Amino acid sequence: MDDYCYFSTRVRIGDWTHIATGCSVAGGPDRTFSVGDFSSLSAGVRIWCTSNDFVNDAIMIGAAPGITGDVSFGDHSGVGANSVVLPRNEIPDGVAIGALSLVPPEFSFEPWTVYAGIPIARVKARNRENVLRQVDEFLKRQGE
């Protein structure tokens, strides 16, 4: 985890995972953000486990936020710089999200797929075999 990151929720971080500078993970003590092994959040990524519902709720009157839920990333996942991930998302193994993307609540992901855009859309399949080969080579160099 690099400098200048902010966390206001429970966090679980896997092995060999990198969280770059300036990332924020927010949601309060009742929510959890988790990320698996060999994953990364690039600089400036924002993960929200709690958010106002600007469509359905009055704002700034102390009401409970309308959108709340854990956010989890599987192994071998990655998020590009300055992307935003909203609550109630389960991102499966191998998913990559391009820079400057917006992940709406409860998005339906396919494992080992690349997504990008505002809001995100499928771009193409990710090369699972190549990613896992690189991980195996890395672990051999580490003596694991």
Strand partners, 78: 40, 96
Return the H-helix or E-strand segment holding 140: helix 128-142
> pLDDT tens string for the chain (144 positions)?
999 999 999 999 999 999 999 999 999 999 999 999 999 999 999 999 998 877 777 666 666 668 999 999 999 999 999 999 999 999 999 999 999 999 999 999 999 999 999 999 999 999 999 999 999 999 999 986
* CATH code of the domain covering residue 72: 2.160.10.10
Range of the domain at 27: 6-142
Query: Could you tell me if residue 57 is inside a domain?
Result: yes
Query: Could you tell me if residue 1 is inside a domain?
Result: no
pTM: 0.93
Say how far apart CA 15 and CA 20 lie, in whole Å: 15
**113 DSSP assignment:** E
